[in-house]
Amino acid sequence: MADPVLSVKNLAVEFDTYGGTVQAVRGVDFDVERGKTLAIVGESGCGKSVTVQSIMGLTPMPPGRITSGSAMMGDIDIIGRKTINGEDIRGSQIGMIFQDPMTSLNPTMNIGSQIAETLIVHRGYSSKQAFARAIELLDMSKIPEAAKRAKQYPFEFSGGMLQRAMIAMAIACEPPILIADEPTTALDVTIQAQILDLLMELQRNNGMSIILITHDLGVVARMAEHVLVMYAGQIVEHGPVDEIFYRSGHPYTMGLRAAMPTNDPNAEQRLTPIDGSPPDLFHPPVGCGYFARCPHAMRICAEQPPQAHQLSAAHAAKCWLHHEANTQQVAQINLRDHAGEEPS
Amino acid sequence: MWRYTFKRLLQGVITVWFIATATFAAMHLVPGDPLASDKAVSEEIRANLEAKYGLNEPVWKQYTIYLGNLAQGDFGISFTQKNRLVNDIIREHFPVSATLGLLAVLFAGLGGVIWGALTALYRNRLPDIIIMFLVILGISVPSFVVAAFGQLGLVSLNNLAGFNVLPVGGWGTVAHMLVPAMVLGLSTMAYLTRLMRSSMLEIVSSDFVRTAKAKGLPPTRIFTAHQLRNAVLPVITVLGPAIAAITTGGFVVELVFAIPGLGRYFVEAVQQLDYTVIMGTTVFYGAFLVFMVIAVDVIYGFIDPRVRLE
Amino acid sequence: MAEPTYTPEFATDAFEPLHIHERKHGTTRPSLSYWQDAWLRLRDNKRALISLYLVVGLLLFTLFGPLFWNVSPSVQDLDQVSKPPWASREAVIVAPYTLWHGETTTPSGSGLRTATPPNTQAVRLLWDPVPGATGGYRIYRNVFPINAQQAYGLPLGEQFDPNATYFEDRLDLKARDYYYTLVPLDDNGIELADATTLEVTVRNAITVQGALERGLVDADSNVEVGGRVTLKFHPLGTDYLGRDMLARLMHGARVSLFIGMVAPLLYVLLGVIYGAAAGFLGGRADALLMRFADFVVALPFLLFMILFKIMFGIGPGESGIMPMLIAMVILSWPATSRLVRGQILQIREEGYINASRLLGANTTYLIMRHMIPNTMGVILVTITFAVPTAIFTEAFLSFIGMGVAPPTPSWGSMCNEGIKTMLTTPHELIFPAMFISLTVLAFNLLGDGLRDALDARIRNIE
């Protein structure tokens, strides 16, 4: 991939807990392209948030620990660094918005000041300038009566409005990368669409890259150019959005698709949940992490971890089904009705 | 906000009425004639008291007389001390207790916030472990023991120094107030430290502090503008009850350090069964505490925007 | 993470699909009930566990201690008054007391000196006439060395005759070191500067008759003046009336722990009933009930405890435990009732209550199966934290003389007695204070542990 803004290699993160050490992220690689949106999907606890928070230096350490890996912006590894060429990474190089806007803003500080704070710290604005700019940013984020709203406190805002304010705050210093960690999960559906539209519009206008973390495939389809599917702390499949949706290479991705409602009136399929729960990351399995839940599991899957198999130029999946020694027809498995597969 | 304040004040007045009534009821359930038990009352005083309180009238009449007097701020005449008004006693001794209490509250509040924030920042490391050990000790040792050891400490200090570094008892100068105020505030400080610590720990791992970090703010700014301010709020909410605890805890400290405060006077009055002083002091303390709690709540309302704008 | 190494050759059945049952679901763990889970978490909390043992130990101490240490808490051992546990129990047998007028058996020596070996029967001082002491002498006694401030301590008495150079001290003597100071006086009785101080180590003394009466020696054994006997054993010393501290602490524990544990149980029970009633009735009744609770909360607690104590009065021979218990229950229930009402209101809105109701559960079932188990944890924690408060209240009231009536020991009243002699015999304060502190500490830590174990929300913070 040409000219990525951010290139993450072999990132691994552990957490020490009372129960032992959790290997939350187990060797993750990906690139973020300039001006594009990269989606990371996966269920709760698969390591999506930990991945980006480690890059941002937001994982509490201890108990967290980055055991290996790098995240290159240009030729500088930003893991464990605070600044690039004197510029702070957080806030001015990478902006971030979070899942729950209701709790992600300081309840005792007005919205305008919280946005202005960023500008004062990173851009050296006077507090007056910064507040004026904060109002402009709120306006850009489509908050009506921005001047009046800027003086209000978070509890006076609705969830959607708060997320707009969060976005205004994250883009205040025009960072080249915006990380959106489940930005619409806590919002209702109509508001979700508005927030996603706002993000896309801002991306068109200032050309930033977005890392979008979500478990909502609908959001992925709408926003992303490239998709990473994470499971049990690893990337099991990645590729362009269309290939992920129409030529899924990993049974987990297929399972996610089968569990997602469609609006195709002809499709008479029931939603199929993925049985079981993710493996215990205190003791990650020797073989494939998805083995215990996979409808296509084979003997080898329990014994050896699968390698990434390139399915097309930008599409790869970590699954033994694609190994040349396998005689089953993967394409057939993929095309068959997923719902009818599971005998149990 | 003003409506809220007014509403709270009105509630406060009703509460004080309840306290006065409960006090009246309790004292009238005392077996026997309060005057009969006391030998010190002369015929003259007895006649005066009977006339003033309508002691020969039925109970409801006495109650209305009592409430009427209270409404005018008249707490009555002391039973045991000739020609002494309860109002005078309160006026004379309460400022001492209030000064001591105020110092203790300041000491407890500041100490609690500072130690609590410190322990949260050094969570599970040596400063945290040491301070939390002392806090547990502070909560578990009764106030009179702390007072006794405070005094013992003063005696040893003066003995070691060879001259009076600080007076061991009595009242008058700041030097007299220092150690008693610290002793009085200690358990409250320990309590507030615990509260501040857990509040701070909650804030440290809160979403908005994560946001502040993601914004790239320097740690000092995150600490002052985001963590401290929010973590102090729950501490302020319990200041009302803390003031109450400190005021009544003052009894012991005043006894041990020979401070001429209202608490000590109250204990003496109880020992001498000086009914009007007991009743007057109880109602006065009750009213004082009720309005202190209201004051703290109203001040809190001005600090926390969420309450302010409701 | 390093790339795993591959075996180039695969087994023949490597790619054989597996049936669902051949895969082990290593992902599920055995499920535990709420109480099992709580107990497991409490067991992992070392501090809470130690506290639990401490509480059990205290209860055993209180209930069974007197069986092993069968000494009455009210018997006075007049030979050993205010005796710390580490003091020597050896006593010299002396002749019965006879009057003394300065005669001496040891004529040698000069300056301030003792005429006979000093013991608890009497300290007899002799000195040489001081020139200029025209007005006589004044004698002081101190338990501390005389410091630069020239604090001589307790003035024992005066000899106005300048030639009467002797003094006998029989005032409340203990087996310890004393510092006697002799100050000459001038004509007008003004103290002169040249004071002399003598350090005297006083030993226990007992007469033959005394030793026989107290059963320290057998009647037929041969005891002589100048012989030695060992006084009665008091593991934790004695108090200011010579009563055994250990026995008093055990009996005091009965009072303190009785009030400390029974009062919270009673008022939490009352609070639960009241709060549950308010929560269930709802509406106007709820508002009225809670407003009344607010009033009771506003009563200044300790003042009303004292007021109630006056109100109930304590008759002769009564200990005053019951009035204190009743007063505590009357004043303390509202906090629990508020808590329980809040819980009930909250639980009533929970989905599982509606679900249960839809499945046909009646009110009794809802209360027994859902409401009580779900509020039990909170109530248990409340009781645990209420115990230290109640113990403190008892101690505080007894300390200011408003609690348990004197002959009955309680930890608070023992502290009250001990504080008066804090400077000379600190053990009388330290032991009861230590028991109060340990008990309160244990219950506080246990409460913390229980709260952490029962409340999954708070678990992660501490």
CATH number at residue C142: 2.60.40.10
Query: Is residue A133 a contact partner of residue A119, using CB atoms and an 8 Å limit?
Result: yes
Could you check whether the bond before residue A62 is cis, i.e. omega within 30 degrees of 0? yes
Query: DSSP for A51-63?
Result: HHHHHHT-S-TTT
Exposed/middle/buried for C191, CB within 10 Å: 0-12, 13-18, 19+?
Answer: middle
pLDDT class of A340 with cuts at 50, 70, 90: very low
Contact A117 B225 (CB under 8 A): yes
For residue B159 the two structure tokens come to 């003995």
Q: How far apart are CA A163 and CA A171, in angstroms?
A: 12
> How many structural domains are present in chain C?
2
Q: Do A280 and C17 touch (CB under 8 A)?
A: no
- Judge: domain B93-266, CATH 1.10.3720.10: yes
Show contacts of C95-98: CB within 8 Å, 24+ apart: C95/C207, C95/C208, C95/C225, C96/C207, C96/C209, C97/C121, C97/C122, C97/C207
Range(s) of the domain holding residue C167: 91-207
Do A230 and A40 form a contact (C-beta atoms < 8 A)? Answer: yes
Q: Is residue C29 part of a domain?
A: no
Identify the residue whose tokens are 């709420």.
C34
| Tokens read off for B4 | 């809220």
| Domain identity same for C248 and C139 | no
> Which residue in A has a C-alpha nearest to residue B230's C-alpha?
A108
pTM (global) more than 0.90: no
CA atoms within 13 A on the CB side of C51: 26
Which one, of A46, A47, A121, lies nearest residue A90 by Cα? A121
Q: Which residue of B has its CA nearest to A151?
A: B305
Q: Give the helix/strand (H/E) hosting A178.
A: strand A177-181
> What is the identity of the amino acid at A82?
K
The B-side interface with A (CB below 8 A) comprises 205-208, 210-218, 221, 225-226, 229-230, 233, 304-306, 309
- Residues C149 and C257 both lie in one domain: no
Considering only the beta carbons, identify the residue of C6, C18, C25 that sits closest to A276: C25
pLDDT score at B115: 92
Q: From the CA of B303, how many Å to the nearest CA of chain C?
A: 24
Q: B157: closest CA among B175, B144, B173?
A: B175
Mutate to test the interface with C, among B270, B285, B289, B296 (most CBs of C within 10 A): B270
Cβ distance C172 to C241 under 8 Å?
Answer: no
Residue A163 has pLDDT above 80, yes or no: yes
Count of other CB atoms within 10 angstroms of residue C55: 20
From first to last of the 462 residues of chain C, give the pLDDT tens digit. 444 444 456 666 667 666 655 555 544 555 667 777 778 777 877 888 888 898 888 888 888 877 877 777 777 776 777 777 777 777 777 777 778 777 766 666 677 777 777 877 888 888 887 777 788 888 888 887 777 666 778 888 888 877 777 888 877 777 778 888 888 888 887 877 777 888 888 877 777 777 777 766 666 666 677 677 777 777 777 877 778 888 888 888 888 888 888 999 999 999 988 988 888 887 888 888 888 888 888 888 888 888 887 777 666 666 778 888 888 888 888 888 888 888 888 888 888 888 888 888 888 888 777 887 778 878 888 888 888 888 888 888 888 777 777 777 888 888 888 887 777 778 888 888 888 888 888 888 888 888 877 765 444 333
* Amino acid, res. A17: T
Give the residue-averaged pLDDT of B55-77: 79
Statement to judge: residues C193 and C266 lie in one domain? no
Same domain, C444 and C409: yes
Q: Which tens digit of pLDDT belongs to each residue from A218-268?
A: 888 888 889 999 888 888 888 898 888 888 888 888 888 877 777 766 666
d(C-alpha A48, C-alpha A235), whole Å? 10
pLDDT value, residue B38: 52
Q: How many residues does chain C have?
A: 462
pLDDT band at A336 (very low <50, low <70, confident <90, very high): very low
* Residue C280 shares a structural domain with residue C418: yes
Residues from C contacting A (CB-CB < 8 Å) are 1, 3-4, 6-7, 10-11, 13-20, 23-28, 44
Q: Which helix (H) or strand (E) holds A68?
A: strand A64-73
Return the pLDDT at C455.
66
Query: Looking at the partner chain, which of A57, A118, A156 has a beta carbon nearest the beta carbon of B215?
Result: A118
Q: Which residues of A touch B207 (CB under 8 A)?
A: 98, 100, 103-104
Q: Which residue has the higher pLDDT, A114 or C82?
A: A114
**Cβ atoms within 10 Å of C339's Cβ, excluding its own:** 19
Complete DSSP assignment for A110-139: -HHHHHHHHHHHHH---HHHHHHHHHHHHH
Q: Is C142 found in the same domain as C108?
A: yes
**How high is the pLDDT of residue C81?**
72
- Subunits with 3+ C-beta pairs closer than 8 A to A: B, C
Element (H, E) at C332: helix C321-349
Nearest to C15 among A27, A292, A325 (CB): A325
C311 and C387 both lie in a single domain = yes
pLDDT for residue A338 is more than 60: no
3-class DSSP assignment, residue C94? strand
Mean residue pLDDT of chain B comes to: 82
CB contact under 8 A, C303 and B286: yes
Given an 8 Å threshold on Cβ–Cβ distance, is B251 in contact with C436?
no
B10-44: per-residue pLDDT in tens? Answer: 888 888 888 888 888 887 776 655 555 555 566 66
Q: Which tokens is C321 given?
A: 């435990």
C-alpha torsion sign, points C48, C49, C52, C58: negative
Calculate mean pLDDT across residues A136-165: 88
Is A6-224 CATH 3.40.50.300?
yes
What are the residue ranges spanned by the domains of chain B?
93-266
Query: If you ran DSSP here, which 8-state letter would residue A92 be given?
Result: T
Report the C-alpha gap between C330 and C325 in whole angstroms: 9
B206 to chain A: which residues are within 8 Å by CB? 103
- Give A228's strand partners: A40, A238
Chain A residues 197-216 with CB within 8 Å of chain B: none
Q: In chain B, which residues have their Cβ closer than 8 Å to the Cβ of C400?
A: 251-252, 255, 267
Is residue C62 domain-shared with residue C102, that is, in the same domain?
A: no
Cβ(A114)–Cβ(B225) below 8 Å: no
Which residue matches tokens 């008091």?
C234
User: pLDDT tens-digit profile of A62-79?
Assistant: 778 888 888 888 788 888
Do residues C458 and C381 make contact, with C-beta atoms less than 8 angstroms apart?
no
C17 Cα to chain A: minimum distance (Å)? 4
Signed CA dihedral, C370, C376, C382, C386: sign only: positive
Q: pLDDT value at position A335?
A: 43
User: Degrees (nearest 5) of the Cα angle C238, C242, C246?
Assistant: 35
CB distance C13–A296 less than 8 Å? Answer: no
Residue boundaries of the structural domains of chain A: 6-224, 253-337
Task: Give the closest-approach CA distance of B5 to chain A in angstroms.
Answer: 21
Cβ distance C432 to C415 under 8 Å?
yes
How far does the CA of residue C448 sit from the closest CA of chain A (Å)?
A: 18
Average pLDDT over residues B87-95: 86
Residue C26 with chain A: CB contacts under 8 Å: 279-280, 285, 292
Chain A residues closer than 8 Å to B304 by CB: 108
Query: Where are the extended beta strands (E) located within C24-153?
Result: 90-94, 113-114, 123-126, 136-142
Chain B residues inside the 8 Å CB shell of A57: 213
| CA-closest candidate to residue C264, choices C410, C390, C115, C351 | C390
Check residue C1 and give its pLDDT. 41
Span A8-46, pLDDT tens digits: 888 888 888 777 788 888 888 888 888 889 999 888 878
